[in-house]
Structure 1
């Protein structure tokens, strides 16, 4: 019976940690399919709005070191409007996975959609 209790406690701790691992700094939760890791090492992070340029067919995002924790050199991403996810706050966010060259999820504030 002690083993079952340990499994339940461990599972609850993992579930709490997983929820925490996918939270933006402002407190809303990134979808688990977008963010792998935690707030220190995860792929999702708020990015400066000046790095995002709207075009007729989508957003162009240019990130440099310092704009996102995973970025080590300048990267350019194109995100069509039909794959943009509404942001949980008034900021742009991007998830880079499996490498910094790959945009996994992109979030835009409601007033920018």
Structure 2
């Protein structure tokens, strides 16, 4: 099963559980959906990197992040040059430590030419 299929299955199970709990407590559908939207929805859209760690919600809404080959991210004097050609400076808040030691790139809509939301980088050698 692909990562997106697993994510869709998790979201479906989550929605069904919320609806069942709401029905048990006699809540109307509108109240259930409002509570889901306000408090619980972000959990349904986070997704995991292939190594098993979760991309944070501040970087990803379910499809924005993906691993990229180290060769496609260049380290230069000004910062990291990502595949779109954008330069993300080393001290930029969007630069995150990679839990699996690989590069991961998060862009708006997961597009290869999208603006960088976050970039996960392996530890740098000194």
Q: Given the two structures, how large is their TM-score scaled by the length of structure 1?
A: 0.65
Is 1:102 the counterpart of 2:115? The answer is: yes
Change (3 A) 1:32 1:16: closer
- Secondary structure of 2:91's counterpart equals helix
Map of 1:11-90 to 2, 5 A cutoff?
11=36, 14=41, 16-18=43-45, 21-37=46-62, 42-62=63-83, 75-83=84-92, 84-90=95-101
More strand by share: 1
Q: 1-side partners of 2:74 and 2:42: how far apart?
A: 37
Query: Which runs of 4 or more aligned residues in structure 1 lie more than 3 Å from their structure 2 counterparts after TM superposition?
Result: 10-16
Q: 1-side partners of 2:60 and 2:50: how far apart?
A: 13
Q: 2-side partners of 1:22 and 1:3: how far apart?
A: 29
Q: 2-side partners of 1:94 and 1:56: how far apart?
A: 20
Larger radius of gyration: 2
Q: 2-side partners of 1:35 and 1:17: how far apart?
A: 12
Larger CA deviation: 23-32 vs 95-104: 95-104
Q: 2-side partners of 1:78 and 1:112: how far apart?
A: 20
Runs of 5+ in structure 2 lacking a partner?
A: 1-24
Q: Aligned pairs, how many? A: 93
Residues 37-94 of structure 1 deviation map (CA, whole Å, 9 limit, x = unaligned): 2xxxx010000111011112211122xxxxxxxxxxxx21211001211011111001
More helix by share: 2
